[in-house]
Amino acid sequence: MGRIYADIIIDISTEKLDRAFQYLVPEEIAGELQEGMEVTIPFGRGDSRRKGYVIGFSDTPDIEEERIKSIICINKTAVSAKGRVLTTAAWIKHRYGSTMINALRTVLPVKKKIKSSEYSTVCRNVTPDEILIEIRKLDPVRYISRIRILNALLEAKEIPQTMITDKLGVSPSVLKTLEKKGFIRIEKTREYRNPMPDLLGAGMNAKGIVELNDLQKSVVNGIREEISSGSQRPCLIRGVTGSGKTEVYMELIADTIKRGRQAIVLIPEIALTFQTLMRFYGRFGDRVSVIHSRLSDGERYDQYERAAAGKLDIMIGPRSALFTPFERLGMIIIDEEHETSYKSEKMPKYHAVEVAKYLAKREGAALIMGSATPSLNSYYKAKNGEYALFKMDMRAGEGRLPVSHIVDMRAELKAGNKSFLSRALADAIAKRNAAGEQSMLFVNRRGVAGFISCRSCGYVVKCPHCDVSMTQHLNGKLICHYCGHTEGMPSVCPKCNMRSIAGFRVGTEAVEKGLKEMYPGVGILRMDADTTKKKEDYEKILSAFANGEAQILIGTQMIVKGHDFPNVTLVGALAADMSLHAADYHAAERTFELIAQAAGRAGRGARKGEVFIQSYDPEHFALKCAAVHDYEGFYEQEITYRELADYPPVCHILVMQFFGRKQEDCMARAWEMAERAKALCDKTADMETERQSVIADEGGDLQIIGPAPAAIGRIKDIYRVGLYFKHEDVNLLTGLKDMAEKAQEQHFATPGDPEVSMQFDLDPVGMF
């Protein structure tokens, strides 16, 4: 047998080592080693032990044989990255830019095997008559333990071993004797850790199959036709809050399970896990599970194993649940598809929607997305026929869309009200408290980096080049983080000349304190990052509110997503302007989504709902459309703006992000990449003669914006610089990424070059 060599990706997250290294496969493991396995190998001059993943084999050495080192051993406690996992990782690396090892870590939601537990069952191995004959033969004094077991097995075919050893007081040696004689057999069963131990009983009491209304049936039938046609178009459901999208999902998943296939359900927040699982358990039983970051290592590993072993039909969870190792994947559901949490903030910066499209196409699975406020990107594709569009414009059951009011906080200030609550909202809360109804107050903390606005007229300071708000820095300067434009902080409002211009912040803790002073004796709960540090905190707070233990729930955006509380008749949106004027072209879209989703929590039961939206910019179209649930009206205005400014979804954006110890090194590398990009796209502009802060191709092809310091220009003494590229063709931007990666390799190979690392973000959902 000839020598076998393995190509191995080293488990080190650095761009310098982002390639496969060849190792000799020792004969003693040659028959066992498979693609995807984790191994230990000697690496570097000191032969330090490192982990790595096998991504391929060869019988030909790439370098001199004497220089090739041997694999030390297979890491049998590690989870293998099998063929489909490797393929997915390679696609993510190519699409989004990353090291292969980071891509592998991403697609392996579980990294190591955890010792499993088992339970043993004592089973009758002969007929009852044979047991009776044996009992008659035994001396009742000498063999009392054997007789106890045999009598117990006359009543039941199988008994847990712990019951026999604990309650019957029988020793293991007695069991071994009966097993040798053939009267019993002991079966061992893998016992899986339950990630939600209190859920099964509660879930089984939940509603099972719900009769669909006519609108729901119409959508289900339409999607069935789309699937059966073989088009493989993703399906987008635009359904108002409370329209019953979850029942539609479950009906479609039931079809999938009948065909012997499995389903993944993505939800944007761990906070939604409890309610979602309750509903799915009620319909599908214990072949439903969940996987997310708050589970213990053992719980996560067991759910991964159950899925791989075919013991689950449905996996529910946030972004990482997408990589569940189902062998027969038939459907992917993405609920609240507009949510930014579906985009990874770490390398590789993949978007779950795009990865889901890739997986669905590869596996021949259906992709269903739903939202009351679809992302502009998805709705644009639906309008253009790339997605199949289905609409649900009415609430299911007794629920009706709430009545909304936009409160002008400028008028409140003029009237002498400096409270965080408008007078109308404060009165409405008092009425709900008296009536025994519940209220939710959403504190909009997005955009906390600090836009500057006038409290008298609502004017917001914006960049003259990019039409996004300027961000206030500690040195008092205002900076645009797209193009780097800088100006001083104005002392008076440029529009009305009043001295009411300043930054604005509000927090949940301060709101909680103020409410307790205003409404003494009223139960108040707060839900934010500080009160939900443990995995069970979400359930405790939501269960307490659902059970009526508090009349007011205060929270950040995590309380506005998908929750269903029939007794909530009032929602207040505080500081809507916080996201409306964030330094991001998504600002209007994010605000519309947040306010529309927040408003959707009111009036989901038989009682009418009411919503108060507090703003210093009450005429903004995003707020006006959200108040009346006018998604189409918002979309038409916002997409016009995106078309004029060449922002996604009309164009794609690639951000190259540079990190280094010196800002000038980061800027120099960014300028180099800008020049290389211009040359690659056959541009002839001579950028050496005049370097501007904003570079744009006037011909309308590739647009290059920046480079400019990031929103947070330095973290832990590492400087951060961003360079933006716009183009209609995502493949052209992927080509630019590939070009930049090759250029980085040249720098790594050149002694003395400044150490500047680089990351990529394709179609970012927030600013760098």
Per-residue model confidence as pLDDT tens digits over 225-271: 999 998 889 999 999 877 889 999 999 999 999 999 999 999 887 65
Quickly count helices (H) and strands (E) in the chain.
24, 30
Q: How many residues are given for the chain?
A: 768
Domain match, 210 and 304 both: yes
Tens of pLDDT, residues 362-385: 999 999 999 989 999 999 999 999
Residue with tokens 């399906």: 235
Domain match, 42 and 94 both: yes
Domain match, 300 and 416 both: no
Output the six-digit token pair for 634: 């918002």
Domain boundary among 643, 669, 704: 643
Domain match, 255 and 364 both: yes
The answer for residues whose C-beta is within 8 angstroms of residue 176's C-beta and 6 or more apart is none
CATH number at 741 reads 3.30.70.600
The answer for residues whose C-beta is within 8 angstroms of residue 477's C-beta and 6 or more apart is 486, 487, 488, 489
Q: How many CA atoms lie within 13 A of 368 on its CB side?
A: 29
Q: For all residues of the chain together, what is the average pLDDT? A: 84
Domain boundary among 107, 128, 158: 107
Q: Domain limits at 89? A: 5-107
Report the percent of the chain where pLDDT is more than 90: 31
State the average pLDDT over residues 105-129.
Answer: 80
Is 754 within a domain?
A: yes
Domain match, 187 and 266 both: no
State the average pLDDT over residues 724-735.
Answer: 92
Q: Is 428 helix (H, G, I), strand (E, B) or coil?
A: helix
Supply the pLDDT for residue 448.
38
CATH number at 183 reads 1.10.10
Per the structure, the count of domains in the chain is 5
* Res 698 pLDDT > 50: no
Judging by DSSP bridges, how do beta strands 388-392 and 235-239 pair with one another? parallel
Is 312 within a domain?
A: yes
The sheet with strand 235-239 has its strands ordered as 288-290, 314-317, 262-266, 329-335, 366-371, 235-239, 388-392
Separation between Cα atoms, residue 412 and residue 429, nearest integer Å: 17
Domain match, 529 and 559 both: yes
* Res 668 pLDDT > 90: yes
State the average pLDDT over residues 642-654.
Answer: 92
pTM (predicted TM-score): 0.77
Is 398 within a domain?
A: no
Domain match, 582 and 664 both: no
Give the pLDDT band of residue 221 (cuts 50, 70, 90): very high
Domain match, 220 and 149 both: no
Is 472 within a domain?
A: no
CA distances from 271 to 75, 292, 294, 535, 561 (A): 35, 11, 11, 9, 9
Is 768 within a domain?
A: no
Domain match, 385 and 417 both: no
- Per-residue burial over 142-154, b = 16 or more CB atoms within 10 Å of its CB, e = otherwise: ebebbbbbbebbe
Query: Is there a contact between 161 and 121 (Cβ–Cβ < 8 Å)?
Result: yes
Supply the pLDDT for residue 148.
82
Domain match, 100 and 136 both: no
Query: Is there a contact between 552 and 513 (Cβ–Cβ < 8 Å)?
Result: no
Domain match, 251 and 377 both: yes
Strands (E) located in 336-484: 366-371, 388-392, 403-408, 438-443, 452-454, 471-472, 477-479
Give the pLDDT band of residue 356 (cuts 50, 70, 90): very high
Quick one: DSSP state of residue 749? H
- Per-residue burial over 632-664, b = 16 or more CB atoms within 10 Å of its CB, e = otherwise: eebbebbbeebeeeebbbbbbbbbbbbbbeebe
Supply the pLDDT for residue 391.
94
Is 756 within a domain?
A: yes
Is 38 within a domain?
A: yes
Domain boundary among 621, 643, 665: 643
CATH number at 70 reads 3.40.1440.60
CATH number at 444 reads 3.40.50.300
Is 467 within a domain?
A: no
Of 82-91, 114-123, 446-455, which has the strongest mean pLDDT? 82-91
Domain match, 231 and 297 both: yes
State the average pLDDT over residues 508-525.
Answer: 88
